[in-house]
Amino acid sequence: MNYSSPASTRNGQILGWLFGTLVVIIGILNLFLVHPVPGIAYLLLSLLYLPPASAQLKAWFGFSLPVVVKIILAVVIIMFTLGVSDLGDMIDKL
């Protein structure tokens, strides 16, 4: 039985676009301001959240990450960006 309604699917896609875009922005900032390696890593992680890329990854590999894993990964990304990375230090200096 499928319990997901079209509204919850649409909300999930909106959240995916918002957080995926945020991770892309963090990746671009890291790419130019800090170092290319974390920038590329963030850009690759954003593919897990952007709906078209997530759908393509599901088509290629046959499964997608559960929402709980995506939420935990999002918290880790935000904590790492603001707490540990050099980009977080640059934000603090502003």
Please determine, for residue 94, whether its predicted confidence score (pLDDT) is greater than 70. no
Contact 26, 17 (CB under 8 A): no
Pairwise CA distance, residues 7 & 63, whole Å:
22
Which pLDDT score, from 0 to 100, does residue 54 have? 85
pLDDT in tens, 46-91: 988 888 988 888 899 888 888 888 889 888 888 888 776 666 666 6
Q: How many CB atoms lie within 10 A of CB 24?
A: 17
* The Cα angle at residue 21 between residues 15 and 22, in degrees rounded to 5: 90
User: What does the alpha-carbon distance between residue 86 and residue 42 come to, in Å, rounded to a whole number?
Assistant: 14
